[in-house]
Amino acid sequence: MRTLRFVACLIGSIVIAASRADALDFPVGHSSVADAQITRLMMDEAYPQIVFLQLSDAPDENAECHRNSTWHYAIPISSPEGQNMYSALLALKASAGHAFFGGADECVTELPPEILGIERLARLELH
């Protein structure tokens, strides 16, 4: 019952945040995908504080630093904001829903040099 209550609160929070985000314009020049599903989410024990995302559609463009052809976005989950975004991503993946994904126009800096080059996810709007 606690889990169901948590999921209901989480989805309610996401809907409120998404409705507020509609009033805000997403910055021109930042990568985005208007209506996509999450096809893959990955965490790796070598990088336990990073979640990697692959979407059903590729972003229209990526940050200049983005060089990875497998992962469209990544998010650090070491902060409360990152953990909130990760929770929303899990709910979205579980529901097979569609969303707007927006990049930060900068890459995740917490990765080692050999896999640098994945743009940080900055915005998630659920439909």
pLDDT at 16: 40
What pLDDT sits at residue 3?
58
Dist CA 100 CA 18 (whole Å): 10
Domain map (residue ranges) of the chain: 2-126
User: What's the chain's average pLDDT?
Assistant: 83
CATH says 2-126 is which class?
Answer: mainly beta
pLDDT at 110 (0 to 100): 87
Query: What is d(CA 31, CA 50) in angstroms, rounded to the nearest whole number?
Result: 19
- Asked if 24 and 43 touch (Cβ cutoff 8 Å), the reply is no
Q: What is the pLDDT of residues 81-116, one digit of tens each?
A: 999 999 999 999 999 999 999 999 999 988 887 777
Between helix 80-95 and helix 2-21 the angle, nearest 10°, is 100
Per the model's pLDDT, the better-predicted residue between 73 and 10 turns out to be 73
Report which residue type is found at 62: N
Q: Which of 3, 33, 39 is nearest to 119 (CA)?
A: 33
What are the distances in angstroms from CA 105 to CA 16, 44, 48, 52, 94?
25, 24, 23, 16, 27
- pTM (predicted TM-score): 0.78
Res. 51 pLDDT band, cuts 50 70 90: very high
pLDDT, residue 1, reads 55
